Chains A and B, each alone.
Chain A
């Protein structure tokens, strides 16, 4: 693995089904993020994790959950998918900030999710 990867690349899902989007990074970054991207709305933060074992809510957390059992993995789960969750999902990671100075977020290739 080089950088940050996401799986699956794309998925079509029936409404009401449970789905987990996977994100893995090998850069030993402490911080990880999940965004959704919708046309005309830019990137909106769903959940984040500043370090393994901790998570936090972003702008649009409803209907999504995350876990951070270790540094490398940050899965995003839709417990019961709805059509409004149709979107492109990007995972990102960032090095630990030093003295309050934050750094570049590196994005994964994205997952295109369609909920019917």
Chain B
């Protein structure tokens, strides 16, 4: 089955700096790669996703890149703000089911 590894587990950046979170997956059949943000005590919410027919996708300060050959994908957040502080999860899947990474706790220091 699918296995998703996510790094780093914690990340601390200064406000205004960029943050990068990386994930690798094992199943070449996976074709959907979402990223979720979870604030403390809240539900996970989708922030961006990418499909296997696309190499990069951007939405304002957030971008995701996908390398199918290497089976890895990354989340890039530019100009970080304190409200970006949260736990971020990557996921990979096909046939509708997702396997999640263990999460990255991002702290943005003012």
- Where the two chains meet, the residues of A that have a C-beta atom closer than 8 Å to any C-beta of B are 31, 33, 35, 40-45, 48, 50, 56, 58-59, 90, 94, 97, 100-102, 104-105, 107-110
Contacts and interface: CB of A to CB of B under 8 A. Distances in A.
Contacts of A33: 97
Contact of B99 (A59, A107, A109, A110): A59
Contacts, number: 55
Interface string B76-110: 00000000000001010111111111110000000
B101 to A, nearest CB: 6
A71 to B, nearest CB: 15
Given A43-B100, A108-B43, 13 more contacts: A40-B9, A40-B103, A41-B102, A42-B100, A42-B103, A43-B44, A48-B96, A100-B94, A101-B32, A104-B34, A105-B98, A109-B43, A110-B43
B80 to A, nearest CB: 22
Contacts of A41: 102
Interface string B1-31: 1000010010000000000000000000001
Given A41-B102, A42-B102, A97 B96 contact: yes
A100 B31 contact: yes
Given A90-B43, A101-B51, A104-B49, A43 B89 contact: yes
Contacts of B42: 109
A45 B43 contact: no
B46 A58 contact: no
B45 interface: yes
Interface in B62-88: none
Interface string B38-55: 000011111001010000
Contacts of A108: 43
A44 B91 CA distance: 11
